[in-house]
Amino acid sequence: MPENLFTFENRVVVVVGAGSGIGEAVALGAAGHGARVECLDVKAETAEATKARIRSGGGAAEAAALDIVDSTAVDAAIQQIARRHGRLDAMVCTPAINVRKKILDYSDDEFDRVVRLNLKGTFNVLRATGRVMTAQRSGSIVIFSSIRSQVVEPGQSVYAATKAGVVQLVRTAAAEFGPSGVRVNAIGPGVVETPLTQQIKSKPEWYDAYAKKTVFGRWAAAGEMVGPTLFLISDAASYVTGSVLFADGGWIAADGRFTPPGM
């Protein structure tokens, strides 16, 4: 066991979704701890911008465009990174979309779009990374799920189903990849200020209602997902696999916000 459990010096960390939000924060955080970061995003320009920020701070980074619903492109990108560095130490996958509609109002196309990115796209990344890491017999994968894998509200049906599905993919991958020394875990954020939640942020009543669901009475900043992520891909989590780390400000733990008299 190394002296510094949280060192990432010269380790190769791939961040999918590195162009914005949680993915951008994780890419910057990993680089700040010494990792060589591969910034992948569906938008080439945002991936390049994150790479530029890392390099301007003296870190090592590369960037490329990647659409994770394209399994051939995902396989090629992961294989290319592994060949360039000789290994792949960690993968962090963050992308997701949400169409907030009641079940009776959902169209076939909307269902397919959400499932295609959130579930199939995540599967593509998990499978491609697993092929590399099981062959090298080491590595750590972190997939972003959500509190919606556990609790829901009207309008969250398909998104919640995909995030629950992600958890089961992670657990199965942990069971299958574990004998080869590869760890697979998930993070379940609560409400985080990212482009995905802009719709909520623009409505003060909605924004405040979500803030009050947490025990801290506030939303998370994207940077607050960095610590949980780096923990899971670090040597400090060497015996952690098949788990979901909920970074939700106590949302799931606190069932209701009413404090009974005398408490």
Q: Per the structure block, which two tokens stand in for 148?
A: 């919606």
User: Interhelix angle for 44-56 vs 21-32, to 10°?
Assistant: 30
Q: Distance of alpha carbon 103 from its chain centroid, rounded?
A: 26
Active site (annotated) includes residue 210? no
Q: Positive or negative, the Cα torsion across 168, 141, 29, 57?
A: negative
Q: Per the structure block, which two tokens stand in for 42?
A: 């569906």
Q: Which of 159, 207, 210, 239 is catalytic?
A: 159
Contact 225, 26 (CB under 8 A): yes
On the CB side of 241, CA atoms within 13 Å amount to 20
- Which has the closest alpha carbon to 97: 225, 196, 15? 196
Number of other CB atoms surrounding residue 198 within 10 Å: 9
Active site members: 159
